[in-house]
């Protein structure tokens, strides 16, 4: 008998999870787009009685409300520390829905100035046994102007009127824009979307746009951040970095963040490092993982991403950190927070573990708060407290 209180999780476990146990079968990008189309329809028609009831049921099943999970960071109210990472809802099609899955915030994008189709398909691959994914999507999105239209279509409120629906927007450089004109490209997108984003992310770390990671060079990054910072009504700014930087490069970026009074860092993006799985064959192409282009995400990235968060927190514990990469359980989320992350984001882990992952993480954090006799989640940040069963 299906537990009515967990009906959506049961549907996911019975219909989707079996697909995710194999590398092959339904194409990973097709499955993602199909899921997003259902969410888009729901977001656009949330006032329909049936959809309204479904959304209410989602909220009841996945939302965990507790004041000990609340934080105010950079003047933004986060009702809980678990967010949806950028990359799933690139065009903001389901911007009004993510809070119903229990997320404390959602990051839309990556969005670019110009619409672009991204890299040739196939470009997204499951590594089921490793609970990982390889992607070389290439910032496929419909462009900044279209994102504004999507927000208007869904009646997404301007940030100054919005309650309990925290949205970040992740900005990237258009593929056709040269590095010398990258700043102008970012600025155009930001000017259009500032009214809608609680915080903005400058993405200079995707491995799938040629030359983009060169913008992590402190000199180029300083020029870009200064121009963005000077925009009228500029929201809190975060920089998303790659996991493949040397610690020296990370330290240089941290110093820049401090010097330029940037609000924080998101660590990390996907990795070009194959993390010990170089000989793993991608069945759809017949090539080894070491021979494939693209960034690796999911469980294999967990340890490396956590070390980077810990390293940055040790450099300066005043830098606001959002931890992402391989978080797939309450334990891994707690570890990332205790290593220095104020907030965490999930994507690949959420796909494999299903929507129940969000409330599981939040309830797990609350359990650890009780065990360690803390007042709130903020007290756990950078504490190095262990997970206790």
Q: Catalytic residue numbers?
A: 206
Annotated binding site: 86-90, 110, 135-139, 170, 203, 208, 240, 268-270, 298, 326, 347-348
Strands 237-241 and 199-203: parallel
Q: What is the 3-state secondary structure (H, E, C) of the chain?
A: CCCHHHHHHHHHHHHHHHHHCCCCCCCHHHHHHHHHHHHHHHHHCCCCHHHHHHHHHHHHHHCCCCHHHCEEECCEEECCCEEECCCCCCCCCCCCCHHHHCCCEEEEEEECCCCECCCCCCCEEEECCCCEEEECCCCCECCHHHHHHHHHHCCCCCCCCCCCCCEEEEECCCCCCCHHHHHHHHHHHHHHHHHHCCEEEEECCCCCCCCHHHHHCHHHHHHHHHHHHCCCCCCCEEEEECCCCCHHHHHHHHHHHHHCCCCEEEECCCECCCCCCCCCEECCCCEEHHHCCCEEEEHHHHHHHHHHHHHHHHHCCCCEEEEECCCCCHHHHHHHHHHCCCEEEECHHHHHHCCCHHHHHHHHHHHHHHHCCCCCHHHHCCCCCCCCC
CA–CA separation, 345 and 333 (whole Å): 9
**Angle at CA 302, nearest 5°, toward 9 and 381?**
90
How far apart CA 307 and CA 22 sit, in angstroms, is 30
**Sign of the Cα pseudo-torsion (374, 377, 381, 387, in order):** positive
Report residue 155 CA to chain centroid gap. Answer: 23
Contact 36, 94 (CB under 8 A): yes
Which residues are documented as binding site for FMN? 86-90, 110, 170, 203, 240, 268, 298, 326, 347-348
């Amino acid at each position: 008998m299906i537990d009515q209180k967990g009906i959506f999780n049961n549907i996911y476990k019975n219909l989707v999870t079996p697909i995710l146990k194999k590398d092959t079968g339904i194409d990973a990008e097709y499955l993602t787009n199909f899921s997003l189309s259902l969410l888009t329809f729901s977001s656009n028609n949330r006032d329909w009685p049936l959809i309204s009831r479904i959304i209410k049921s989602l909220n009841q099943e996945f939302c965990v409300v507790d004041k000990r999970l609340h934080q105010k960071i950079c003047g933004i109210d986060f009702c809980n520390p678990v967010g949806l990472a950028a990359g799933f809802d690139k065009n903001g099609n389901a911007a009004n829905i993510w809070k119903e899955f229990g997320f404390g915030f959602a990051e839309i994008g990556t969005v670019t100035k110009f619409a672009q189709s991204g890299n040739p398909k196939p470009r997204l691959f499951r590594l089921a046994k490793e609970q990982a994914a390889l992607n070389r999507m290439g910032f496929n999105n419909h462009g900044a102007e279209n994102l504004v239209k999507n927000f208007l279509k869904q009646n997404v409120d301007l940030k100054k009127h919005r309650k309990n629906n925290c949205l970040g927007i992740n900005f990237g450089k258009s593929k056709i824009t040269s590095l010398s004109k990258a700043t102008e490209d970012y600025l155009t997108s930001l000017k259009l979307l500032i009214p809608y984003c609680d915080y903005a992310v400058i993405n200079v770390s995707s491995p799938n746009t040629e030359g983009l990671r060169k913008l992590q060079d402190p000199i180029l990054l300083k020029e870009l951040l200064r121009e963005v910072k000077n925009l009228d009504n500029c929201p809190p700014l975060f920089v998303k970095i790659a996991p493949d930087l040397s610690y020296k490069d990370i330290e240089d970026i941290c110093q820049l963040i401090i010097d330029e009074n940037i609000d924080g860092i998101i660590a990390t993006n996907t990795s070009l490092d194959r993390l010990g799985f170089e000989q793993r064959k991608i069945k759809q192409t017949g090539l080894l993982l070491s021979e494939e282009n693209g960034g690796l995400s999911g469980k294999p990235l967990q340890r490396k991403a956590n070390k980077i968060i810990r390293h940055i927190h040790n450099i300066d514990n005043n830098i606001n950190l959002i931890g992402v990469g391989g978080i797939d359980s309450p334990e891994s989320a707690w570890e990332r927070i205790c290593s220095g992350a104020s907030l965490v984001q999930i994507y690949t882990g959420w796909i494999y573990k299903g929507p129940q992952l969000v409330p599981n993480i939040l309830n797990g954090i609350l359990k650890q708060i009780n065990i360690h006799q803390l007042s709130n989640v903020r007290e756990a940040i950078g504490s190095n407290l262990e997970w206790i069963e």
